[in-house]
Amino acid sequence: MLRACKVAEDAGVPAVAIVATGFMAQAKAIAKLIHATAVPLCEYPGVPALDPDDIFTVKVREKLVPQILQALTAGRDEAEVADEPDAALDPATPAVPAQRDIVFRGSLEAVQNEFERQGWMDGLPVVPPTLEQVDRFLEFTDRPADELLGVVPPQDREATVWNVAVNGVMAGCRPEYMPILIAIAECIADPNFRIQDAGATPGWEPLVIVSGPLTTDLDFNSTVGAMRLGRRANSTLGRFTRMFFRNIAGLVIPPGDTDKGTFGSGMHVALAENDAAVHEMGWPSFREDRGFSAADTVVTVQSCLAVSAPIYSGGNTGLQCMETIVKIMGDVQTPWAFNGLWFDQWHPLVVMSPAVADVFAKDGWTKDDVRRYLYENVKIEAHWFERYPWHIGGGKPFTLAGWVAEGRIGPEYALSDDPGRLIPMMPRAETINVVVAGDPGRNQSKVYVNNHEQGAPTSRRVDLPGNWQELLGRERGRWAGTE
């Protein structure tokens, strides 16, 4: 919304923004970041979607509108604008340190305390990022330390090979994960990922998926407990990703004001595809689905808004297994899936244990068959899609029939005017993703729900340094205590 004000101001047209109380701090922060600090912020006091009509009317007439009229005219310069100092947006360090500058010296406990005080951590103790540790990480890439990987909103901070290594150290990664860390950072910095929306109220989290031979070389867990803390590669790469959101993108929960995730969720674990299993059953790997070679290792980062309950599937045919997958996939996506139509993007991820995937493969189903069946059979009653936007924000009602008439969606969404009619929950089959992982001995799947265009799956090939094998051998030696 502030961006709309900004483009108007740049065009010489004064603009004012209406902001509900809960978003005032974030609005000020965003205004500073996009250089729109003179835009008056007119506050609606409270939560407009929850106020009764009579209260809403009084607040608008007596509180909000006077601010707007004042801001539109001569009183503009007296309206509230985002010009207050904001410590959360500026490095507490007076001057921006150079790469190799030492910013703090102290004991392990003192480092933790200082990083906590500065807001440079995720709330868990960090590994101190010493020059020695960072340099070990940098050995695992041929790319220069000062190479710019992207400028990452909302704080528009530079993501570099250097600060990727620093945060990798802090997250507890091993040095040889560095090529994967760089790929993760590149995914996040890609405009397709829309990191600027990661502080939105749904509170989505980053989900990292690693597919390829490095999952074996770097000891990822892709089997029992695949999404559980316990294996260093999975655990620390997931932690790094969230730390990157905070330290590089600058998405900070209170006392910061750039992250408005209502709840968010907890621990992050990188998901590794079970490469052997997927090839054994004759399905293409996830990286091949994403357009890469089977010989590559590919990182994909996407948003994750919700995780389904365990989906147990009985039977020895694809149709039998689909009974529960269809039901529970619909349950977890909830009416929130209307956003798939609203934004024309929806990328749910179905993770099948090898045992379940094997049933499909042996029954002759391709991954495309799975996608198509889910698209055609995961449905919701139409009234939910039309009503749920009102619950979210009291916004302007829309009808599916109206969207069909406008050509935004297909005729299948308005085959009758029965509000209880069943309509497809997902806009298309092609963007349903399937990964094979988890306990090979159990008949379970799970669905991970992305947040439409926000955190759309974004992939990068992992590039290794020329002396990868030598470096890896050395680190393994250290690990084994022989160096």
Could you say which residues in the range 453-472 bind another protein, by CB under 8 A?
Answer: 453
CB 1 within 8 A of CB 17: yes
Span 317-346, contacts to another protein by CB under 8 A: 342-344
Candidates 52, 105, 255, 420: give the one binding another protein (CB under 8 A).
105
402 part of the interface to another protein, by CB under 8 A: no
Listed in sequence order, the residues at least 6 apart from 146 whose beta carbon sits closer than 8 Å to its beta carbon are: 99, 160, 161, 162
Which tokens sit at 298? 């590919």
Q: Please, what is the minimum distance in Å from the beta carbon of residue 270 to another protein? A: 20
CA distance 151 to 233: 26
Radius of gyration over alpha carbons of the chain, in Å?
A: 25
Residue 237 vs 278, nearer CB to another protein: 237
Residue 197 vs 323, nearer CB to another protein: 197
Q: Please, what is the minimum distance in Å from the beta carbon of residue 462 to another protein? A: 22
Candidates 97, 310, 402, 411: give the one binding another protein (CB under 8 A).
97
Span 16-55, contacts to another protein by CB under 8 A: 16-20, 23-24, 26-27, 30, 32-33, 35-39, 44, 48-49
Question: Residue 307's beta-bridge partner residues?
Answer: 448
Listed in sequence order, the residues at least 6 apart from 373 whose beta carbon sits closer than 8 Å to its beta carbon are: 318, 322, 326, 365
Number of neighbouring beta carbons within 10 Å of residue 10: 11
Burial classification of residue 176, based on how many CB atoms lie within 10 Å of its CB (0-12 exposed, 13-18 middle, 19 or more buried): buried
Span 134-163, contacts to another protein by CB under 8 A: 134, 151-152, 155-160, 163
Span of 76-84, 223-231, 319-327, 368-376 interacting with another protein by CB under 8 A? 76-84
CA distance 274 to 223: 7
Please choose, from the candidates 362, 376, 347, the residue with its C-alpha nearest in 3D space to the C-alpha of residue 435.
Answer: 347
Burial classification of residue 230, based on how many CB atoms lie within 10 Å of its CB (0-12 exposed, 13-18 middle, 19 or more buried): exposed
Burial classification of residue 52, based on how many CB atoms lie within 10 Å of its CB (0-12 exposed, 13-18 middle, 19 or more buried): exposed
Site size with another protein, rule: CB under 8 A: 103
CA distance 371 to 428: 9
Question: Residue 422's beta-bridge partner residues?
Answer: 381
Candidates 55, 75, 116, 117: give the one binding another protein (CB under 8 A).
75
Q: Please, what is the minimum distance in Å from the beta carbon of residue 376 to another protein? A: 23
Candidates 12, 52, 123, 254: give the one binding another protein (CB under 8 A).
12
13 part of the interface to another protein, by CB under 8 A: yes
Residue 165 vs 449, nearer CB to another protein: 165
Candidates 225, 395, 419, 477: give the one binding another protein (CB under 8 A).
395
Question: Residue 298's beta-bridge partner residues?
Answer: 211, 461
Residue 68 vs 276, nearer CB to another protein: 68
Span 231-260, contacts to another protein by CB under 8 A: 247-248, 250, 260
Q: Please, what is the minimum distance in Å from the beta carbon of residue 307 to another protein? A: 26
61 part of the interface to another protein, by CB under 8 A: yes
Map residues 156-195 to x or -, x wherever contact with another protein holds by CB under 8 A: xxxxx--x--xx--x-------------------------
